[in-house]
Amino acid sequence: MVPATVLSSLMGIWLGLLTVRRSATVSGSGVMLVILGSYAVPVFWLAQLLILLFAIQLGWLPVQGMSDPRQRGDWSGEWLDVIRHMVLPVLTLALNHLALTAVVTRARVREEMQRPYFRTALAKGLGHRVAVRRHALRNALLPIVTVIGGRIGFILAGAVLVETVFAWPGLGRLVVIASLNRDYPLLLGLFVCISAITLFANLLTDLLYAVIDPRVRQGATSHA
């Protein structure tokens, strides 16, 4: 889930900036259509499509499981094998959750580009891409970080289906097994664990506000 969160965040921000620069072109509209399509497809169905493409048709990646028993004994081979098995589950979660980050990035950066400070930066000779990256994106990070932090719980929920499809031995698959076996104490412990992870993600998001925007830190200091 951690690699999926990082990948979806980076890809969402990059695609949001890409569509801002090409908002009036056919390619920009096509990218947004693909992004929204990946969000509209159910995560378990997206997982099946990626299995059909990369595992069955192309044969590049394994279908299910966390590792291949034939790789036991060589630690470097074991790590590479786990990474190969991780690619499809991580890609499935990332593709399903990057859409909201991309849409928010696109909307907020476009809004920041209409402000006087951005036009002043361009008038002083700063390149458009540099101005977007240094000024517009930086001032648009607060809502983007809020969206990313708020999606942690949804990624945890999607991991239940993804881990079931890919037979990945994680918390999501354990929730399904506990539900089928009516193991209520285990389910209670899993829900407490998932709630704690979600609360920690929200707390980390709030702490990042002060790092991103000095005005938040100054406001907290003045209140104290």
Taking only the tens place, the pLDDT of each residue in 21-54 is 776 666 767 778 888 887 888 888 888 888 888 8
Give the range of the structural domain holding residue 110, as residue numbers without chain letter. 2-223
Say whether pTM exceeds 0.85.
Answer: no
Q: What phi, psi does 67 have (nearest 5°)?
A: -160, 165
| Domain total in the chain | 1
CA dist 168 and 165 (Å) reads 8
pLDDT of the residue at 72: 65
CA dist 35 and 99 (Å) reads 5
Residue 223 has pLDDT above 80, yes or no: no
Q: The domain spanning residue 113 has which CATH number?
A: 1.10.3720.10
CA dist 82 and 138 (Å) reads 36
- 40-73: buried (b, 16+ CB within 10 Å) or exposed (e) per residue? ebebeebbeebbeebbeeeeebbeeebbeeebee
CA dist 125 and 198 (Å) reads 44
pLDDT tens by residue, 152-166: 877 777 778 888 888
Taken in order 44, 46, 52, 54, the sign of the CA dihedral is negative
More confident residue, 173 or 223: 173
CA dist 128 and 118 (Å) reads 9
pLDDT of the residue at 129: 83
